[in-house]
Amino acid sequence: MGKVYVFDHPLIQHKTAMIRDKDTSVKDFRDLVKEISMLMAYEVTRNLPLMDVEIETPICKTVMKMLQGEDIAIVPILRAGLGMVDGMLALVPNAKVGHIGLYRDPETHLPVEYYCKLPSDIENRQVIVVDPMLATGGSASAAINFIKEKGAKKVSFMCLIAAPEGIEVLQKDHPEVDIYIAAKDSHLNDHAYIVPGLGDAGDRLYGTK
Ligand code: PRP
Ligand code: URA
């Protein structure tokens, strides 16, 4: 069974509180999403495998640990997931980036796919799917279905704000997937928006609406 990690780091809590404020500007929102994603990437990569490497310092030869170079793919769910990519790439600059385009039908709240382009060697990569919001869980679950259909074997999911309903759906549909969350919220409202949440993440990132 995959694990659910809710981050308690003060910097992540502080910045996540700031993005909820309806008066936070588009620029600040975008900068904060990037910063939170970078801080979370530090934890999400905690279990990357290391190997012994011989290094010669100015003093002597020594054996130290370095990354085995396990290949990572970051897969944002468009549009809002894009806002999390640069923060992650700041820590794992060699990661490849795939894209999945999904939007929620406003009536049914069900995800509709409009784009999917993944690295060709996705089956050999540790895939981290990113999206700021896990609401009903429909988008994340559908995105992970597509990625698995393309051959991915190791998938985790990282979001900023999650509703309990979405966590439950993701755990039921993809029990092996680890879920990384900056903040777990109370519930969904009648429009399937997260409460207290931050509103529509895509609109707040790109100034639409
Ligand atoms: C938002 C968000 C997630 C999805 C979450 O995207 O970025 O992808 O909703 O909701 P769910 O868990 O109920 O599926 P939206 O559909 O608004 O598209 P956008 O990113 O293009 O704004
Ligand atoms: N999508 C969002 O952007 N926000 C929500 O609260 C739910 C889905």
In DSSP notation, 60-87 reads: -EEEEEEE----EEEEEEETGGGGGHHH
- The reported pLDDT for the residue numbered 107 is 86
User: What are the backbone dihedrals phi and psi of residue 78, each rounded to the nearest 5 degrees, phi first?
Assistant: -70, 150
Q: Which protein residues touch ligand 2 with a CB less than 6 Å away?
A: 133, 135, 193-194, 197, 200-202
Please identify every stretch of the chain with a pLDDT value under 70, giving residue numbers as ranges. Answer: none
- The reported pLDDT for the residue numbered 105 is 86
Distance in angstroms (rounded) separating the CA atoms of residues 48 and 129: 16
- 70 Cβ partners below 8 Å, 6+ apart? 48, 49, 126
- Residue 136 counted as an annotated binding residue: yes
Catalytic site includes residue 200: yes
Q: Which ligand is nearest to the CA of 83?
A: 1
Point out the ligand 1 atom lying closest to the alpha carbon of residue 136: 13
Distance in angstroms (rounded) separating the CA atoms of residues 64 and 136: 45
Q: Which ligand is nearest to the CA of 131?
A: 1
* Candidate list 31, 71, 173, 200, residue with the active-site label: 200
- At residue 122, the 3 state secondary structure works out as helix
- 36 Cβ partners below 8 Å, 6+ apart? 12, 15, 16, 19, 87, 160, 182
Query: How do residues 11-57 score in pLDDT, each as one tens digit?
Result: 999 999 999 999 999 999 999 999 999 999 999 998 888 999 999 99
Catalytic site includes residue 31: no
- Residue 81 counted as an annotated binding residue: no
Question: What 3 state SS string does 21-67 have?
Answer: CCCCCHHHHHHHHHHHHHHHHHHHCCCCCEEEEEEECCCCEEEEEEE
- Choose one of 29, 112, 133 to mutate for the ligand 2 pocket test, by most ligand atoms within 8 angstroms of C-beta: 133
According to DSSP, residue 150 is labeled: T
